[in-house]
Amino acid sequence: MDHQQTSASNGCPLAHGHHGFEPFDQKNPFVAYAEMRREQPVMFDERVGYWVVTRYDDVKAVFDDWETFSSENAQAPVRQRGAEAKKIMDEGGFTAYSGLSARRPPEHTRIRKVAQKAFTPRRYRALEPSIRAHVVRRIEQMLARSDARGDFLMDLAYDVPTVTILTLIGADTEKVDLFKQWSDSRAAMTWGDLSDEEQIPHAHNLVDYWQECLRLVQDAHDHDRDTLVGDMVREQQAGDEITDHEIASVAYSLLFAGHETTTTLISNSMRVLLAHPDQWQRIVADPTLIGPAIDEVLRYSGSIVAWRRKALKDAVVGGVEIPASSELLLVMGSANRDESRFDDGELFSIDRENSREHLSFGFGIHYCLGNMLAKLQAKIALEEIVRLMPNVQLQDGVDIGFRDNLSFRVPLEVPVKWKVAA
């Protein structure tokens, strides 16, 4: 396919280049997003090989049409695996791919049904008191410091959602650092821009991570566990059609998706709200505004800014012809600021009435399974921060960086300070 011709035929002069879009650079992608929405809302980017889709209606329509646009590439490595990494993974018995997000119906429908039966609100709501106690413990540890300074990412957001998901799954809650390390490896190996050499330590981590998922399933067969994996094994024993490999794959999904993005959501909530002190003060005065504020954070600064799909047949997106087998990058981070859906889309406002229309959890049959748990944990964290450290502020003069990644927009820190009570 001649992409130059396609660009020109869309009326976009080639001089526009990529409109400033750098696929892996998450520092401030929003200026480029706005230009793409305006100038070339469906653009082929030959550096990654994806059609980049940036308008709200187009992103939503593609998510919604699973028969034309499959998610089978959602977990594929953006950069090919190097020979050495591949060897390590093959020899280590790494056969994981995706629990749900990259599976297609009818397989996806069958497995999601089993996972959903196990992942009930009853199961995670029961954890609410322990999540709250954990948050309070972390805040008290912060407040005990004599320099009255901290980093919300590492001091609170890092381990609260991780302990929650490890508890739900039935994994060892003492191994937070190990699971975080494995998850970082998964994010880097799938959506990162690593050289062959750089992939090697991550390949070892992925082998260990997958072996742990297989062990968890075996353990649930050997012992009757009151955990999510235990529930799925019982469903299997009661006749639901799901294999041990599929249960391990769901665990492999949840042990990543279940904390990584929530760590980012809690971090982003504090980062963005404290950057808008007037709005922070409003939620301090009225904590019932926390729910809407979290929806607005998800719209304005989502944890995942881009997600992939593959065209199963020739299709048209936003008036542009997309040939069968093309891969698409749906930029939710851009769709969420599209002025055609969100007035003053670049503006952060907890008063916005339609924040919840954001696409940060995707849309359609793959809509995020854990969205309620993510929001619940962010709500608990904010409620306790508002209560225990209402005068917290961002540290002065810090320019917060973001990790390089195609999909996950992860701040490196959220440095804060507070006044010590007299």
Q: Which residues, other chains included, contact 412 with Cβ-Cβ below 8 Å and sequence gap of 6+? A: 153, 400, 401, 402, 403
Provide, rounded to whole angstroms, the least separation between the CB of residue 351 and ligand HEM.
Answer: 21
Task: Concatenate the DSSP letters of all residues of 65-128 into one string.
Answer: -TTTEE-TTTTS-SSPPPHHHHHHHHHTT-----SSTT--TTHHHHHHHHHHHHS-HHHHHTTH
Determine, following the binding rule CB under 6 A, whether residue 100 of this chain makes contact with ligand HEM: yes
362, 389, 411, 415: residue in contact with ligand HEM (rule CB under 6 A): 362
Q: How far is the CB of 308 from ligand HEM (least distance, A)?
A: 9
**Footprint (CB under 6 A) of ligand HEM, residues 19-58:** none
> Of the listed pieces 181-189, 191-199, 273-281, 359-367, which binds ligand HEM according to CB under 6 A?
359-367
Return the number of the residue (298 or 385) whose C-beta is nearest ligand HEM.
Answer: 298
Q: Which of 309, 374, 306 is nearest to 30 (CA)?
A: 306
d(CA 19, CA 141): 45
Query: Strand 42-45 vs strand 320-322: parallel, antiparallel, or unpaired?
Result: unpaired
Asked if residue 291 binds ligand HEM (CB under 6 A), the reply is no
Structural contact between residues 385 and 150, judged by C-beta atoms closer than 8 angstroms = no
Closest CB to ligand HEM among 88 and 374? 374
Q: Cα torsion at 199, 200, 201, 206 (round to 10°)?
A: 80
88 or 179: whose CB is closer to ligand HEM? 179
* Closer by beta carbon to ligand HEM, 230 or else 258: 258
Q: Which is nearer to ligand HEM, 114 or 203 (CB)?
A: 114
Give the nearer residue to ligand HEM in terms of CB position, either 199 or 360: 360
Measured at the CA of 95, the angle between CA 158 and CA 312, to 5 degrees, comes to: 95
Residue in 210, 215, 164, 162 with CA at minimum distance from that of residue 186: 210
Minimal distance in Å, beta carbon 335 to ligand HEM?
11
| 71 is a site residue for ligand HEM (CB under 6 A) | yes
Residue 261 engages ligand HEM in binding (rule: CB under 6 A):
yes
Strand partners, 393: 417
Contact status: 101 vs ligand HEM (CB under 6 A): yes
Q: Are strands 149-151 and 307-311 parallel, antiparallel or unpaired?
A: unpaired
Tell whether residue 165 is a contact of ligand HEM (CB under 6 A). yes
Report the residue from 368, 395, 402, 417 that binds ligand HEM according to the rule CB under 6 A: 368
Q: Is 374 in the site for ligand HEM (CB under 6 A)?
A: yes
Which span sits near ligand HEM by CB under 6 A: 133-141, 194-202, 259-267, 410-418?
259-267
411 binds ligand HEM (CB under 6 A): no
> Least distance in Å: CB of 367 to ligand HEM?
6
Query: Residue type for 58, please?
Result: D
248 CB-near residues (< 8 Å, 6+ apart): 96, 210, 213, 214, 216, 217
Positions 293 through 312 that interact with ligand HEM (CB under 6 A): 302-304, 307
* CA proximity to 256, closest of 102, 62, 66: 102
Find out whether 42 and 318 touch, Cβ atoms under 8 Å. yes
Cβ closer to ligand HEM: 185 or 261?
261
Give the footprint of ligand HEM on this chain (CB under 6 A). 63, 71, 99-101, 112, 165, 253-254, 257-258, 261-262, 265, 302-304, 307, 360-364, 366-370, 373-374
